[in-house]
Amino acid sequence: MHAKELLRMGESTDRILLLPVWREVPIYSEAERTVLELTEYVTKLSETGVPSNVYDRVRTHFDEKQIVDSAMSRYSNPSVSFKI
């Protein structure tokens, strides 16, 4: 999802700009932090895989359907992912 889309959805500019340092700032909820951590591991899947404890933390905030729906929404428009 691009920053413009997040802004249209009502997300604040500060929260978007601070995403690269999400670990160092207190503005994200625990649920958001778990998703951000999972996202980091997924983007480096071939290097490290996703540790079980990360999935366990995600499951404390989201059910299986929410996790799958969230993952699938990232890939619902391949043209965005591949900049076609």
Q: Model confidence over 25-41: pLDDT tens digits?
A: 999 999 999 988 888 88
In one-letter notation, the amino acid at residue 62 is F
Tell me how far apart the alpha carbons of residues 28 and 76 are, in angstroms, rounded to a whole number.
Answer: 25
Question: pTM of this prediction?
Answer: 0.65
Task: Identify the three-state secondary structure at position 5.
Answer: helix
Tell me how far apart the alpha carbons of residues 26 and 68 are, in angstroms, rounded to a whole number.
Answer: 27
H or E stretch including 57? Answer: helix 52-61
What pLDDT shows up at residue 21? 94
